[in-house]
Amino acid sequence: MSEAKIERKIDRSHMTVTDEVAIQITAMNKWFGTFHVLRDINLTVNRGERIVIAGPSGSGKSTLIRCINRLEEHQSGQIIVDGTELTSDLKNIDKVRSEVGMVFQHFNLFPHLTILENLTLAPIWVRKVPKKEADEVAMYYLEKVKIPEQALKYPGQLSGGQQQRVAIARSLCMKPRIMLFDEPTSALDPEMIKEVLDTMIELAEEGMTMICVTHEMGFAQAVANRVIFMDQGQIVEQNEPYEFFNNPQSERTKLFLSQILGH
Amino acid sequence: MAEHRTAAFVRTEMLPEKAPPVSEVGIIRWLRENLFSGPLNTVLTFMGLFIIYFMIKEYSPWLRHSVWNAASVGECRDIVTAKYGEGATGACWAIIRDRWNMFMFGFYPRELYWRPTLALGLLIFAAAPVLFSESRMIRMWVLGVVSVFLMVAFPGLGVPNGDTALLAVLLVAMLAAAWARPWALLWLTAIYPGLAVWMLWGGSVWGPTLAMAGFVIGWAAWLATRRLGTILSVGAAVLVPVLWWLFGIAPVQAFLDAGLPFAIEGVRSEKFGGFVLALTIGVAGIALSLPMGVVLALARRSDMLLVKALAVGFIEFIRGVPLISLLFVASLLLNYFLPPGTNFDIILRVIIMVTMFAAAYIAEVVRGGLAALPRGQYEAADSLGLDYWKAQRLIILPQALKISIPGIVSTFIGLFKDTTLVVFVGLLDPLKGITDSVRASFEWKGAYWEPYIFVGCIFFIFNFSMSRYSMYLERRLHRDHE
């Protein structure tokens, strides 16, 4: 378990949680075959919230956020994202997906396209943005993640950290209202974790609604307004970060925290 | 046990790069690694050298004693005997010199040889903006060679000088387009299928034109019904052109032929033979089987049970029976199912069967490519909000097809060679049909090796070109660490 130190000062002026509901999950259950992977999940995320989901592997945390943009289908309960309920209706699914950005553990950049093409593909084909405008937006976000000079290279020529920043920029080009991060730093070398976390912190500073599955507890303490601990497909405990780390309530949480922070 | 002490060490100077020892570079290293890396390999190397020597010793006299000018096999033998003594053997290439036109054109009318030749040349021009879009140098080289070939072939085939001059003008215009604006050649690509059919079979220009118009009509039908939903618009885009082809063309063509007659001399399918036939079937089969194979591969991976079942059934049935049985179905049985009096061309029927056969194989090759893509690619495309078709077209297929290139090209090469099987339904393929009919003549009875070697060489040229092209394409699409 790596733990990058967050040394920079965080600007909290835009990090405000509003009353507006961004994601509403009610009594949601999911099975993989006969395996009950998510059990009675209830979760409300307000706009502007920065939520970190932690838990041992196999606890269902990735599956949970993958249900939010329906990469995984839930079998019962309700998920409402930005006022749109996720059902088998493909139109709604595509609508939610174009509003919700997702960053994956293994980046999942398109290796046959240049960095710039990776960034402009969805705006051009989904949002119907003219190519010139899409290029400008893409360059803006590449500047933001500090790799504009790589625009014409292919993903295979970039380091892992650079690829993950490109992946974040690719999601941002769709101007999403919610960002999901599925273990964004787990596949990175230690020296690259920091550059990706910095990018995520900047995003949080701008007031993005974020849900991050991560093992970076430093990031959770610095940025999150809520930490959710999951085990065996259930939400076991959730609290604001200071309380969560210093005063965990459930035995399961205490054990988990002692394991990941205890050395 | 002596005490081992680790002394602290700090390097103060980084070591410069040095040249490797002589035994690690150049020809010596190559020989050692590739030919003499151990006792077994050394023995094998010498055995190989001996086999090569033996083959050259045995077969080179036959080639060195080649006869090019003779009127019959008997005369060939006499010449060889006279020159090299009793018992000497020699290749009798005079059969090729005398009957090359049979191998190339079958019974295609001699004065019209230029038409299939031009169709082949234009094929390369039509394919250039697609196949050689990236490198101007390669494009101009290929098209330049084709142009020279046509300019040499036309007078050789007895085309009047005036017409050859016309061809020169056309070629210069197309070469200029290929140099400056290769995309302009896409117009040729678009009309090429109709153009090629017209040049090969001749007849009224309106038949191929109206058949090609079916695609425009289908597109128009799709545009007109697009707002009514995907299923309806796709249905309309398929159904309307089919109805047009079945019932619309005949009256419209009759009307146009009466009002604006424009026709060139017709050539019936029975006259096709040799490489004209092989290339007609091969090129059409290759061009049609790739899209069909891709659609089948996608259908086989579909979530929709019926679509999937149909694709699996089709692929497994077609792959499960020999091509020859499909060709027999095409030539014999199909006529029973069609309304009497329907004139359903035998070459067209064979093309349909060959296409279906190759498409089933390509579907499996492409399915392998699709399966090889990491799930993350699908998920990334989904999470960006791309719908199924856009995700397939922009993300999945470009990568899956790239992986599948070697398999697809193998299937194409197999298809092209399998065109020789049409001999079993009475068509004159270059390998057996033509060779047999050439040998049926009194003069060339008994010439066995030469026709097969000649036909084999021509197949090799086409197939080797395809193979090299696929390797070039793989290199061009290579995107990993540079």
ipTM comes to 0.91
Q: Distance between CA atoms of B89 and B402, rounded to whole angstroms?
A: 49
Closest alpha carbon within chain B to A167: B380
Q: Distance between CA atoms of B385 and B275, rounded to whole angstroms?
A: 49
For residue B480, the chain A residues in CB contact (below 8 A) are 111, 156
Please report which confidence band the pLDDT of residue B341 belongs to, taking 50, 70 and 90 as the band edges.
low
For residue A111, the chain B residues in CB contact (below 8 A) are 399, 479-480
Among B380, B366, B462, CA closest to B413 = B462
Name the DSSP letter for residue B165. Answer: H
CB contact under 8 A, B380 and A110: yes
Please write down the long-range contacts of B234-242, taking CB distance under 8 Å and 24 or more positions apart: B241/B214, B241/B215, B241/B217
Quick one: tokens of B29? Answer: 């290293």
- Between the two ends of chain A, the Cα-to-Cα distance in Å is 10
DSSP string, B194-244: HHHHHHHH-EETHHHHHHHHHHHHHHHHHHHHGGG-HHHHHHHHHHHHHHI
Quick one: tokens of B255? Answer: 């009307």
Question: How long, in residues, is chain B?
Answer: 482
A104, A121, A157 ranked by CB distance to B379: nearest: A104
Residue A1: per-residue pLDDT: 46
The DSSP bridge partners found for residue A237 are: A229
CB contact under 8 A, A106 and B380: no
**Residue A12: pLDDT over 50:** yes
Rounded to the nearest angstrom, the minimum Cα separation between A107 and chain B is 8
The distance from CA B411 to its chain's CA centroid, rounded to whole angstroms, is 10
Rounded to the nearest angstrom, the minimum Cα separation between A94 and chain B is 5
For residue B477, the chain A residues in CB contact (below 8 A) are 112
**Residue B85: pLDDT over 90:** no
Give A222's contacts (C-beta < 8 A, 6+ positions apart): A6, A10, A201
Closest alpha carbon within chain A to B393: A125
**Residue B256: pLDDT over 70:** yes
Q: Distance between CA atoms of A215 and A201, rounded to whole angstroms?
A: 15
Residues of A with CB under 8 A from a CB of B: 69, 71, 90, 94-95, 97-98, 100-102, 104, 106-112, 121-122, 125-126, 154, 156-157, 170-171, 174
CB contact under 8 A, B481 and A111: no
Give B203's contacts (C-beta < 8 A, 6+ positions apart): B263, B264, B266
Collapse the DSSP code of B12 into the 3-class scheme (helix H, G, I; strand E, B; otherwise coil) and give the result. coil
Rounded to the nearest angstrom, the minimum Cα separation between A98 and chain B is 5
Name the DSSP letter for residue B263. Answer: E
Name the DSSP letter for residue B321. Answer: S
DSSP string, chain A: -------SPP--TT----SSEEEEEEEEEEEETTEEEEEEEEEEEETT-EEEEE--TTSSHHHHHHHHTTSS--SEEEEEETTEE-SS-HHHHHHHHHHEEEE-TT----TTS-HHHHHHHHHHHTS---HHHHHHHHHHHHHHTT-GGGTTS-GGGS-HHHHHHHHHHHHHTT--SEEEEESTTTTS-HHHHHHHHHHHHHHHHTT-EEEEE-S-HHHHHHH-SEEEEEETTEEEEEE-HHHHHHS--SHHHHHHHHHHH--
Give tens-digit pLDDT for B12-50.
888 888 887 776 777 888 888 888 888 999 999 999 999
Please report which confidence band the pLDDT of residue A208 belongs to, taking 50, 70 and 90 as the band edges.
very high
Percentage of residues in chain B having pLDDT higher than 70: 97
Name residue B470's amino acid.
S
Q: Distance between CA atoms of A213 and A186, rounded to whole angstroms?
A: 10
Q: Distance between CA atoms of A99 and A88, rounded to whole angstroms?
A: 17
Among A218, A219, A214, CA closest to A229 = A214
Residue B481: per-residue pLDDT: 54
Of B342 and B440, the one with more pLDDT = B440
A108, A112, A174 ranked by CB distance to B385: nearest: A174
Q: Which residue has the tokens 């993903």?
A: A155
Residue B234: per-residue pLDDT: 86
Query: Hey, of B134, B383, B389, which one would you mutate to test binding to chain A, going by the most A CBs within 10 A of its CB?
Result: B383
Give tens-digit pLDDT for A136-170.
999 999 999 999 999 999 999 999 999 999 999 99
For residue A106, the chain B residues in CB contact (below 8 A) are 374, 376
Cα dihedral: B301, B305, B308, B311 (round 10): -170
Name the DSSP letter for residue B246. Answer: I
Closest alpha carbon within chain A to B390: A125
Among A183, A188, A189, A184, CA closest to A169 = A184
For residue A117, the chain B residues in CB contact (below 8 A) are none
Collapse the DSSP code of B183 into the 3-class scheme (helix H, G, I; strand E, B; otherwise coil) and give the result. helix
CB contact under 8 A, A71 and B377: no
Closest alpha carbon within chain B to A155: B480
Among B352, B323, B318, B324, CA closest to B337 = B352
Residue A239: per-residue pLDDT: 92
CB contact under 8 A, B383 and A174: no
Closest alpha carbon within chain B to A172: B384
CB contact under 8 A, B382 and A90: no
Give tens-digit pLDDT for B173-190.
999 999 988 888 899 999
For residue B384, the chain A residues in CB contact (below 8 A) are 97-98, 121-122, 126, 170-171, 174
Among B174, B203, B200, CA closest to B115 = B200
**Cβ proximity of B118 and B164 under 8 Å:** no
Residue B22: per-residue pLDDT: 73
Closest alpha carbon within chain B to A90: B387
Please report which confidence band the pLDDT of residue B342 belongs to, taking 50, 70 and 90 as the band edges.
low
Please report which confidence band the pLDDT of residue B318 belongs to, taking 50, 70 and 90 as the band edges.
very high
Which range (B7-16, B96-105, B435-444) has the least confidence? B7-16
Residue B3: per-residue pLDDT: 58
Tell me how crowded residue B187 is: count the other CB atoms within 10 A of its CB.
12
